Amino acid sequence: MSGQIETFRDATALQCGFLEKLLHLDMSDVASFSDAIVSFLRSSNENKFVYGLAAGRSALSLYSFLQLLQNHFDNVFPCTLEDPLQSHFDNSKKNLGIAVSGSGETPSVNKYIYDVISHGGSIELITANKDGTAYDLVKDYEKGSILVIEGRTKYATDKEMRSRLSPLGTEFELEVLAFLNAVFKDVQMRLQGVCEESCPKYRSTIVDFEENARLMMDMDGDRLERWFGRLFPRSGRYIIGGVGRSGLVARAFEMRFTHLNKSSYWDRDFNTPSFQIGDVYIPITGSGNSYEILEGTLNAQRRGADVMPITSNPDSNLVSLIERSGDADDIVHIPVKEDYREIFHGKMTPTSWLVSNYSKYRYPIFEINTSIFANSVVAVGAEFLGIVEEGMRRMHV
């Protein structure tokens, strides 16, 4: 087994351990978090506003949860710090701020926590740092509560194995992503009147996430090694594609290429350049049938860029496009348990913006697995390029 594959598997195993840690949270704390969300959702039939207070990759973990709320509840409207069409805080409405900050020291997040508190809104904080500013802001606020998910953040200074296999706060970000997706299952149960302190639906969902993630330990080593060899030794630009929840994973992955000192873009940003020879397009799509991804792939191929997709559907339109160009080895197939394979199967005619209820409510197995896969790829890339965590930290905004 080559060093790259060993690093990939070690990093994946470490992240599976991060998921397992979520089973050891105090279930009364998990239940309290769920109850706070349930209380907000049940409060009235009027429109409600949820403010996502987070920055960077932590924000992307939170936005996945906000999308779940919007998809399932017609009168819940999420607002984020990045939204140019931001809704203004309205004291006459029901408002909830959900803040995520591993270090608790992100100035913009703390500023908005203070604003929500000063306007009398409710606030839920998820952090890894009991000594952080965010923790101090919320701890004595009567409409606030705090969930501590202990994890290594970008400010950690220890030199243990995790600095090599899980750099720059990956642990906390992954745990927040998995926690929020799992706790949503508990929220749904409580809305139906099933309010168990042990949070069985939350626990079973975390176990399911971990079982799916461990399948990546058995991915074909030779195929992965070839993929790594095609991905890292290039001077062209890295353009990462994805829409919806896959788009959140894509944006988080793109940030890490910047930290690896690569020129990288998310394909839907306003400043993303057109493809050219030497570039690589990495579309992330569970179904492999998303309209935007297929258009991006055709555009990249026309302009001579390499396309290296990440998908779970071997029978998709995207896979057919890549196979017809003779580049089937450039595809990464993210494994999922047999129970979910039927979800990622077959071709369908995509539309540009109409999303089916099937896609809207699909279980996020692909996104969790792909987040872990992408984090492991970054660990391999840092080793391949000779970049240590301290160097990545200097590139971090």
Residue 314 and residue 388 in one domain: yes
The answer to whether residues 82 and 54 belong to one domain is yes
User: Are residues 156 and 173 both part of a single domain?
Assistant: yes
The tens digit of pLDDT for each residue in 288-335 reads 988 899 999 999 999 999 999 999 999 999 999 999 999 999 999 999
Strand partners, 99: 53, 125
372 shares a domain with 287: yes
Where residue 117 sits, what CATH number does that domain have?
Answer: 3.40.50.10490
Tokens 């049940």 sit on residue: 42
The reported pLDDT for the residue numbered 87 is 65
Which pLDDT value is given to residue 352? 52
**Please, which residues bridge with residue 311 across strands?**
285, 333
Same domain, 99 and 243: no
Task: Quote the CA–CA distance of 22 and 299 in Å, as a whole number.
Answer: 41
The pLDDT value recorded for residue 308 is 97
Do 150 and 84 sit in the same domain of this protein? yes
Nearest to 107 by CA among 54, 67, 69, 60: 54
Domain holding 209, by residue range, is 3-215
Within 10 A of 170 (CB to CB), how many other CB atoms are there? 29
Q: Return the pLDDT at 387.
A: 82
Least Cα distance to 191 among 363, 31, 35, 48 occurs for: 35
Question: Where does a domain end: 178, 199, 215?
Answer: 215
- Name every residue whose Cβ is closer than 8 Å to that of residue 270 and which is 6 or more positions away in sequence: none
- Say whether pTM exceeds 0.75: yes
Nearest-CA neighbor of 102 among 83, 125, 121?
A: 125
Considering the domain architecture, whether residues 288 and 194 belong to the same structural domain is answered as: no
- Residue 194 sits in the same domain as residue 230: no
Residues 51 and 54: their CA atoms lie apart, in Å, by 9
Local mean pLDDT, 10-residue blocks, the chain (397 residues):
88 94 95 95 87 91 92 89 70 86 94 92 94 96 93 51 70 94 96 95 97 96 95 93 91 92 88 92 93 94 96 93 94 92 72 54 85 95 84 69
Q: 260 and 120, same structural domain?
A: no
Are 20 and 164 found together in one domain?
yes
**Could you tell me if 260 and 383 lie in one domain?**
yes
Domain finish residue from 188, 215, 242: 215
Residue where a domain stops, chosen among 171, 192, 215: 215
